[in-house]
Structure 1
Amino acid sequence: MTEHVPQSWKPLDADALLVAQAIAKALPVPVRELGAQVARELLASSPSDRPLTPLDQVDTVTVPTRSGELRARLYRPEGSPATGPRPALMYLHGGGFVLGTLDGVDEVCRAIAARSGWAVLSPEYRLAPEHPYPAAVEDSLDTLAWLRGSAPDWGVDPDLIAVGGDSAGGNLAAALCLHLRDHGLPLPVSQVLVYPPVDDRFSTPSWTRFADAPLLTTADAHWLWEQYIGPGRTDGVDQYAAPMKAASLRGLPPALVLTAEVDPLRDDAEAYADRLRHDGVPTTAVRHSGVFHGFFTEVGVFSQTDAAIDDVVRHLRGVTAARAASTS
């Protein structure tokens, strides 16, 4: 191979390297230079006529929120659960709070639902910069409240709802858990955080080591964060924007934290997992080697994606097994 490969790309496996090179060719300039609208157009995913995981029960639903209605997709696996209403995962898509669509996570939501037996709800929360923080957090809170309230209509157990997401969606899932704990509201049974941005200091070693990583560079991450919190903001943000700022993580739901080896966000996410453990939260952290930020939702593209989805499925099944044991 004669193409120059950045030093930070050296750990990538063969699949990931090919995808990284394809992304570099498809994006002529960095996302921060494209701007939100052009980046959305270039990176938008198209719905597949033949999804890799067919499901008969995929419903488009309308969720009422404090700011109006938003659209969501509800994925339900085949058949009826043998033990009553099924558990559900509210899954929040990534995209740096600026990008991302329901279509972009369609395949991964289908795969999680089919393999785990859980229903999966994927909401289309408001995006920055048009709707900066805390719009996405508010939408996430309102969607979870709606899911709890309407759970019987969809065959879902309101007491067995987890939250999760990748990248920005992981941040929102973590923020959601903190907000509910702090306000004395019912907590999800678990949180699934896939390479979540949790700190606004950008100071851990991976921000420098993988500054020119594929898909998400350190400079682009800074730009996306500025769009989310609002340009020129100098007064700092609270723990619901940057969960690492929470004084304590004690009392939060059990967590699964997945990271990618070649990712500026890696060290922050793993430090958050360490803090969860330190504060007494049962936490499993898995780093997937040879891949970069964004791999989790690329079903059928990265070999590691399948393994990461299996991590999530095992975790969710563990949640249901623990609940069954506690009530028997």
Structure 2
Amino acid sequence: MAEYAKYSEISPQWEKFVSENPLLGDLDRVDIVERRRIFEQVEAAIPLRQIPEDVKRAPVAVQTFTIEARDGYDIPVRTYVPTSGSGTLISRPLLVYLHAGGFLFGDLDSGHLNCQILASRLNISVLNVGYRLAPKWPFPYGLNDSYDATKWAAANAESHLRASATAGFFVGGISSGANFAGVIAYTARDAGLSPPITGLFLSVPVCIMPDAYPQVRPEIRDQLLSLEQNAINPMLTAKSLGDIQGVYGAPPNDPRVSFLLNENHSNLPQRVYFQVCGGDPLRDEAFVWQKLLEKHSGTKSKIHMYSGLPHGFWRFLSMKASQEWLDDLVEGIRYLCLSSEKVGDSEVIVKGL
């Protein structure tokens, strides 16, 4: 969107980081697997994110098991339940967490630390979902696993997660996981899922596939500037988005992947937390959807905008913005937990300057 185009200007933090790690300077010439190898090589030279001391002092009970998908597949899941109040039902909110990985990578360990910190600091229960991945399991297997896990969480919040979905029922994720969360919002609405989802968290979400851009209404298409503006930005380029689109195997025009194409945006969750990167080709998709939610569902949003930073920058902890990212996530999920009377107008908080 034109009003956010200024946030494409490269952050001094990222400029300095790339100058120290030239492997990140030109990723548009390599395939998806090689890009991932380069990310991991650069990341390996940087200290890993550690469990904060406050989380160590307030541990959560972690359990890994499987739940049955609609086709009989055993979906790996991991629960995180705060240990306070043992022996009595705790009316704490529930979060279904869907990891990142471009529909192709990731597992329960990908989001393990995030889930542990969210459960501990916010006194919420978390269900981490190890959905199936392409290309072995192309569209819609991962999406179906994620929705099946969401339905399971709604039915088993008290017995398995010591939570109450009526106290707060959130679904969210990062990148491809955020795509699933957006699709699930519509699927749950149309299916009459009970209890209903009350909040979403979408970090750098994929809201529409590149080949589906011509299908959106002209007034919306004119707002989607970032795919072209940030086409060759590092971490996620327009080319790599096209590559992912091909491997994932979803028809680009299917609303189960390009959820911006849904015609009805009403009766969706009343609270959304977004993380958006100014240098991300996906930036404007998130803002377009946020405005549709506000217009048609009355949804209030909290948005952390990382100016001049690319998709998924936070994996590289040597930058100040990366060090703050997880605290921002905690703040955002806390926003989903607020009672209605404590929520003001939607706001954009600019970070990464």
Q: Does the alignment reach a TM-score above 0.5?
A: yes
Which residue of 93, 96, 116 maps to 1:90? 96
Alignment of 1:90-129 (within 5 A): 90-129=96-135
Q: 1:90 to 1:27 in 2, by over 3 A?
A: farther
Q: What is the CA–CA distance in structure 2 between the aligned matches of 1:293 and 1:272, rounded to whole Å?
A: 18
Which residue of 77, 80, 88 maps to 2:85? 80
Indicate whether 1:293 and 2:298 are aligned.
Answer: no
> What per-residue deviation string (whole Å, max 9, x for no partner) do you get for residues 58-113 of structure 1?
22121211231111221223412998332110011111111223222222222222
Indicate whether 1:309 and 2:329 are aligned.
Answer: yes
Q: 1:245 to 1:9 in 2, by over 3 A?
A: closer
AA aligned opposite 2:311: H
> What per-residue deviation string (whole Å, max 9, x for no partner) do you get for residues 257-287 of structure 1?
2211111100111111011111133131412
8 Å Cα contact 2:96/2:128 also seen in 1:
yes
How high is the TM-score relative to the length of structure 2?
A: 0.76
Q: Which moved more, 1:87-96 or 1:301-310?
A: 301-310
Unaligned 5+ residue runs, structure 1?
A: 1-7
Indicate whether 1:25 and 2:23 are aligned.
Answer: yes
8 Å Cα contact 2:273/2:336 also seen in 1:
no
What is aligned with 1:11? 10
What is aligned with 2:186? 178
What is aligned with 1:5? none
Deviation at 1:191, TM superposition (A): 1.1
Matched residue SS, 2:93: strand
How high is the TM-score relative to the length of structure 1?
A: 0.81
Which residue of 220, 228, 247 maps to 2:248? 228
8 Å Cα contact 2:77/2:128 also seen in 1:
yes
Matched residue SS, 1:308: helix
RMSD, aligned CA: 3.2
Unaligned 5+ residue runs, structure 2?
A: 1-6, 214-220, 343-353
> What per-residue deviation string (whole Å, max 9, x for no partner) do you get for residues 16-74 of structure 1?
44555577527985596254xx666666799x896344334222121211231111221
AA aligned opposite 1:198: C
What is aligned with 1:219? 239
Q: What is the CA–CA distance in structure 2 between the aligned matches of 1:146 and 1:31, rounded to whole Å?
A: 42
Indicate whether 1:63 and 2:79 are aligned.
Answer: no
Q: 1:300 to 1:11 in 2, by over 3 A?
A: closer
Q: What is the CA–CA distance in structure 2 between the aligned matches of 1:297 and 1:91, rounded to whole Å?
A: 18
Q: What is the CA–CA distance in structure 1 between the aligned matches of 2:334 and 2:60, rounded to whole Å?
A: 23
Q: What is the CA–CA distance in structure 2 between the aligned matches of 1:130 and 1:144, rounded to whole Å?
A: 23
Q: How many residues align?
A: 308
Q: 1:104 to 1:270 in 2, by over 3 A?
A: same
Deviation at 1:289, TM superposition (A): 2.1
Q: Percent identity?
A: 24
Matched residue SS, 1:279: helix
What is aligned with 1:240? 256
8 Å Cα contact 1:244/1:272 also seen in 2:
yes
